[in-house]
Structure 1
Amino acid sequence: MTARILAAPLAAVLLAAAPVQAADNPLDKDRYSLSETGDGFLRLDRQSGRVSLCKKVNDAWRCVPLPDAERALEEEIAALAIENERLTARNRELEAKILAIGRSAEEAMGGLNGKEARPSPDGLSAEDEKQLDRALDFTEKAMRRFFGLMQSLREELEEKPN
């Protein structure tokens, strides 16, 4: 028998074996569409848009739903949107905590009776800044001496005849 001779009885079997929702009419002949493939049939559910591949396996016809790439992408997008909302809310929560900690630190530092205990904007205390200034002064003097020595050596070499 050829596939075309089997198509009509197969269509009846596949349509009758299709999953039926409670509100659907099981005798709705226009719900499913069958298209012949090389090794079976593709069954399209016109209501849900789902496609199944129907094949004869061990003398019985079986229809296996095919993966729907668009639906999978839509589900992934929806899941990512939910995760994005969750992470955005968590980010706002953490920002609020950071601001509260900053205010608490400012209040604690303000309660030191006006003493110079606040760090500078770069995070250095007044004593640290004094030490840094001394180190920079020392470095400047050392560099001036070094370059002075280099200048003296250059002058000496230029003065000597060959």
Structure 2
Amino acid sequence: MSRMIVGLVALTPLLMPASGFAEGEGRYQMERTADGFVRLDTVTGEVSICKESAGQIACRMAADERRAFEDELDLLTRRVEALEKVQESTLSVPKPRLPTDEEIDRTMGIMERMVQRFMAIVKNLEGEEDKTAPQTEPLPDRT
């Protein structure tokens, strides 16, 4: 039976329609085997082994596909766990506290006094500069 599955997997590109679905055809093709059926997904090329019991057909992925599926599932599980750890660690970091209104008022008062003192120094220096500057006659206008 494994030779039949390998043969069907190898023939998958030949069994798949070249330009999508032909009208009236389904997505899956079923082939009878000695133990049941082999189901071919004509879109993805996946092969499943199907068995009939009690009037119902139950399908399982082929062993190679199952292994690939489980590997992908494990990879995704590890990624989700890593993302959850990152999220937990960012939630545990305390958020910075914003200043209160009193702290803002105090800071603004300090800044205001500092600017007033600076402006007083500038005015004082401007006044000294006027006193020390030599008095000269204004230059005549050139027209």
**Is the structural similarity TM-score above 0.5?**
no
Q: TM-score, normalised by structure 2?
A: 0.35
